[in-house]
Structure 1
Amino acid sequence: MNSKHDFEKYANLSPFELKNHLIDLAQSRNDRMMLNAGRGNPNFLATLPRNAFFELGLFAAEESEISFSFLDQNIGGMPFKDDLMARFDDFIRRNRHKPGVDFLSKAMSYVRDQLGYNQHQFLLEMTEGILGCNYPVPDRMLRLSEEIVKTYILNEMGAKTMSNDDIDLFATEGGTAAMAYIFSSLKQNGLIRHGDKIALGAPIFTPYLEIPELNDYELEEVLINADPKLDWQYPESELRKLEDPSIKAFYLVNPSNPPSVKMDDRSLQIIADIVKKRPDLIILTDDVYGTFAENFESLFTLCPYNTILVYSFSKYFGATGWRLGVIATAKENVLDKKIAELPEEERQVLHKRYLSITPEPEKLKLIDRMVADSRAVALNHTAGLSTPQQVQMVLFSLAEMMDTKKQYKDALMALIRNRSAAMYKQLGIKHEFNENSVDYYTLVDMEDTARQLYGDEFAEWVVKTKNPNELLFRIADESGVVLLPGKGFAVRHPSGRVSLANLNEYQYKAIGTSLHKLACEYYEEFKANK
């Protein structure tokens, strides 16, 4: 084991970098299995839309082979538009017994009969898209793909009054690219500046804490702290900090990471009320875990004029390696208004920046500026998420929309909550579910755990004498269990983040047992020192 000095040298590391040191320690012995509960990569994934993707790829390859068939060098061409639907129907008849093919047939019907789009245009977009034989056109997102994903996003985000015509989407390389593009374009377009104040809904995904501190931005952070005693909701007094006119933007993750709790109706309404008083406030809501929640409602649907939405397909569909995300903005929004109101000198600078892509840069919306900025403007003509990725995104969206009984969602939630229950049972403390919790992660509070197991005096001793990083290293060293420090997510109490998505139930039982054993050892030390 390292000394206390060694633990403290890791104090400023991102939890995702600290994790690598913990993994090395956890893997240092061959007589046990390393249990990495530190990363949120799920060990479940959606198979039906993946089967459909690969079957559609085989159909598209057949289509490509129709062109240049006189050549023997495995050279294909662009799909023929004529009779494409007839050949697709024949492909379905020949392969209906295969997983995914029946779904493709039903998806075509759904797109035509429920969504009202031209099935031939949709099939052509999907066929060309999965072959990846053209640049993404439009570069922000393929036309019908954008419309279908819009419908999915509005459904999942709880939109009651918004329609596809009200929003724009930009398909990105996951939620991480979306974050990077938003930060960059807000700065490039004068919407955030060095020294500006931004509010962060804490606890929060670590990069939202780290990016503003970079010399690229040098923003002043104001934390809006959720209260664990309120089931991780924000006290009104915290939310009212947003009434400060010097705060330019409010960034949050909803449901939260790591508490995994969605904002309740009270909090949403308070923010909506604040926005009426602060119509200039920019909101960024990262709702990647919203699809795990029942009756989820995003701030984007309550305050669309002020809000940028980030959504990723990575966690719900088990698709972290696919890198699939979207940025959504309302067509009428405060961002474009603020750009139009910039001083003349700044508008002229931006006019010159975007003049190579449009003769009227002043009319270019921020979401389209993000597309250009994502490729250093000069490469705007080759911007956009790869078309095969967009096809998979569409199939994920259709799979969820067509699952009217919500069987996939119910199965995932049962899986995750069973894991949570198993871990806490072995740990020996109470963990109650609430209606706003999605339980993708859980925070094991060091003080609360100690208090529930052995009382107040022991809890106070643990907090005073034990370095939280020391606990994480000892857990990794002695039991092979890897957790992330809550401190790295702006959690105010010493804690460890446990992902409930990436291990199996018996392994979460083992984690609970290991944590309980460590607590018992500390209790013996506490008694010996009394």
Structure 2
Amino acid sequence: MPFDASKLIAQRALDIDASGIRKVFDLAAKLKDPINLSIGQPDFDVPEPLKQKAIEAIQQGKNRYTQTQGIAELIEPLRKQVLAETNWPADDTGMLILSGTSAGIMLTMFATLNPGDEVIFLDPYFVMYKHLPRLCGAVPVAVDVYPDFRLHPERIEAAITPKTKMLVLCSPSNPTGITLTEEELKAAADIAKRHGLLVISDEIYDAFCYEPHRSIAKYLPGQCIQLKGYSKTYGMTGWRLGYAAGPKAVLDQMTKLQQYTFVCAPSMVQYAALETLLTNHVDMSPYIEAYKKKRDRVVNGLSEGGLFEINKPGGAFYIFPKVPGDGQVSATEFARRAIERNVLFIPGNVFSSKDTHFRISYATTDAKLEQGVAILRELGEEARRS
């Protein structure tokens, strides 16, 4: 009788569904030239100066392990940048170079959460925020921020219990693209201070802000883990590089955990990243401006005539429209109909307890966006008549 390895699977793994985003990626691979509006990464390539620096590092033999916390040449300028932006105390600020910001979310939670602790985040949310606390034995608590996707302090307050330990914020947001205002950030910081909460500030999309980027970090010295990365900004999602900054006591534990998990961030990528800090050879502003125009084109195209209800995003490269009609057509059903027309996007229930909205990524060609908007409008009219 063949050995049944499925009996060995831990309950913690069984409790987590495969990412709905990855399921759509798998589907996209099977379709012929789809209009793919599901992709959560830029459609531009890594800038040539970064490619050349990575190649140079490889050719110079910089291919071995680095220190767990990262190379000093990268940490020091990043540290100066963080201290200048946040005004945090230098002697209590730790830094850690990461294999992507997703690693930072995981390491922060593993370093701070005990079984039974509660983690608050806004719904809609990035998929990891719900599942990673469970791997720590903690309890994810989603706070509904429909229909405007703004931060409502009173809703967060209502969700806090004696077991609440952490608040996770993402601005600009995945999946909504919403950017938090200064007033919202101050209100969240006040809540964190009153209740002694650690805040994870996920700022992976900070470069994709169509207005000045704002961070909660400056309001929470010693009480915030700021996560930033290179993957989205420079189109290098496969290179896996980010960094964490925050109170030294937490960063020391995250560094220790990294020794037993990721070991270190890819060495040649760390050296390549120096090019973004030490020279002016990598200017991403033309790309950001192009994405702003894409956003406007899609928002205007879908919302014309009031067909799709959209909260205009201030950043990232996502739009989170509501399926037209009175709720008779779910986002999952709407996605199924779109697939029949060779259009791919992510239904909202991947990011939410609700199945009323869907995520569009406009990180694709203008031609694909034009085709996609036209088909979505046709499907939207059908849904509205349902």
- Shared fold (TM-score, shorter chain, > 0.5): yes
Counterpart among 518, 523, 530 of residue 379 in structure 2: 518
- Residues 64-103 of structure 1: matches in 2 within 5 Å? none
Residue equivalent to 2:40: 40
The 3-state SS of whatever aligns with 1:291 is: coil
Matched, 1:185 2:102: no
The 3-state SS of whatever aligns with 1:271 is: helix
**Alpha-carbon distance in structure 2 between the residues aligned to 1:508 and 1:296:** 26
Amino acid at match of 2:34: M
Amino acid at match of 1:504: T
Which protein has the larger Cα radius of gyration, Structure 1 or Structure 2?
1
State the shift of 1:21 in Å: 5.7
Matched, 1:175 2:101: yes
Matched, 1:498 2:382: no
**Alpha-carbon distance in structure 2 between the residues aligned to 1:153 and 1:48:** 26
Residue equivalent to 1:104: none
The 3-state SS of whatever aligns with 1:250 is: strand
Counterpart among 318, 324, 332 of residue 235 in structure 2: 318
The 3-state SS of whatever aligns with 1:240 is: helix
> Please, which runs of 5 or more residues in structure 2 have no aligned partner?
1-16
State the shift of 1:133 in Å: 5.4
Residue equivalent to 1:472: 335
Deviations 1:418-456 (A, max 9, x none): 22233344435368886x71151111210xxx2xxxxxx
Residue equivalent to 1:427: 302
Query: 1:481·1:511 contact (CA, 8 Å) conserved in 2?
Result: yes
Counterpart among 125, 131, 135 of residue 61 in structure 2: 131
Amino acid at match of 1:131: G
Query: 2:311·2:321 contact (CA, 8 Å) conserved in 1?
Result: no
Residue equivalent to 2:120: 199
**Alpha-carbon distance in structure 2 between the residues aligned to 1:277 and 1:132:** 47
State the shift of 1:415 in Å: 1.3
Q: CA RMSD in A?
A: 3.0
Amino acid at match of 2:38: G
- Residues 421-460 of structure 1: matches in 2 within 5 Å? 421-427=296-302, 429=304, 437-446=314-323, 450=324, 459-460=325-326
Amino acid at match of 1:42: P
State the shift of 1:287 in Å: 0.7
Residue equivalent to 1:15: 20
Query: 1:484·1:498 contact (CA, 8 Å) conserved in 2?
Result: yes
State the shift of 1:246 in Å: 2.4
Distance 1:49 1:168, change over 3 A: farther
Counterpart among 134, 156, 169 of residue 239 in structure 1: 156
State the shift of 1:295 in Å: 2.5
Query: 1:22·1:473 contact (CA, 8 Å) conserved in 2?
Result: no
**Alpha-carbon distance in structure 1 between the residues aligned to 2:204 and 2:172:** 8
**Alpha-carbon distance in structure 2 between the residues aligned to 1:509 and 1:36:** 12
Amino acid at match of 1:394: L
Matched, 1:208 2:129: yes
**Alpha-carbon distance in structure 2 between the residues aligned to 1:183 and 1:234:** 22
Distance 1:24 1:131, change over 3 A: closer
Structure (1/2) with the larger helix percentage: 1
**Alpha-carbon distance in structure 2 between the residues aligned to 1:283 and 1:274:** 10
The 3-state SS of whatever aligns with 2:277 is: helix
Query: 1:417·1:439 contact (CA, 8 Å) conserved in 2?
Result: no
Distance 1:392 1:44, change over 3 A: same
Residue equivalent to 2:284: 408
Amino acid at match of 2:333: E
Distance 1:34 1:497, change over 3 A: same
Amino acid at match of 1:508: L
Residue equivalent to 1:368: 252
Query: 1:182·1:370 contact (CA, 8 Å) conserved in 2?
Result: yes
Distance 1:508 1:491, change over 3 A: farther
Matched, 1:275 2:195: no
Name the % identity: 19
Deviations 1:466-513 (A, max 9, x none): 232121111012x21110011211264611101122x11111111111
**Alpha-carbon distance in structure 2 between the residues aligned to 1:421 and 1:226:** 23
Distance 1:154 1:443, change over 3 A: farther
**Alpha-carbon distance in structure 1 between the residues aligned to 2:275 and 2:118:** 40
Query: 1:413·1:438 contact (CA, 8 Å) conserved in 2?
Result: no
The 3-state SS of whatever aligns with 1:199 is: strand
Deviations 1:344-379 (A, max 9, x none): xxxxxxxxxxxxxxxxxxxxxx323322322339xx
**Alpha-carbon distance in structure 1 between the residues aligned to 2:65 and 2:140:** 39
Distance 1:481 1:52, change over 3 A: same
State the shift of 1:323 in Å: 0.5
State the TM-score, normalized to the length of structure 1: 0.63
Matched, 1:142 2:71: yes
Residue equivalent to 2:263: 383
The 3-state SS of whatever aligns with 2:78 is: helix
**Alpha-carbon distance in structure 1 between the residues aligned to 2:228 and 2:254:** 16
Distance 1:298 1:242, change over 3 A: farther
Query: 2:310·2:321 contact (CA, 8 Å) conserved in 1?
Result: no
**Alpha-carbon distance in structure 1 between the residues aligned to 2:246 and 2:230:** 17
State the shift of 1:250 in Å: 1.0
Amino acid at match of 1:180: M
**Alpha-carbon distance in structure 1 between the residues aligned to 2:162 and 2:231:** 35
> Please, which runs of 5 or more residues in structure 1 have no aligned partner?
1-11, 62-129, 187-191, 337-365, 451-458
**Alpha-carbon distance in structure 2 between the residues aligned to 1:523 and 1:180:** 41
Deviations 1:108-130 (A, max 9, x none): xxxxxxxxxxxxxxxxxxxxxx5
Deviations 1:1-23 (A, max 9, x none): xxxxxxxxxxx653224314642
The 3-state SS of whatever aligns with 2:234 is: coil
Deviations 1:230-289 (A, max 9, x none): xx21122123236543211112212111111221111111122223322x3111111101
Counterpart among 218, 222, 226 of residue 145 in structure 2: 226
**Alpha-carbon distance in structure 2 between the residues aligned to 1:414 and 1:164:** 34
State the TM-score, normalized to the length of structure 2: 0.84
Deviations 1:366-404 (A, max 9, x none): 323322322339xxxx932232121112222335xx47x
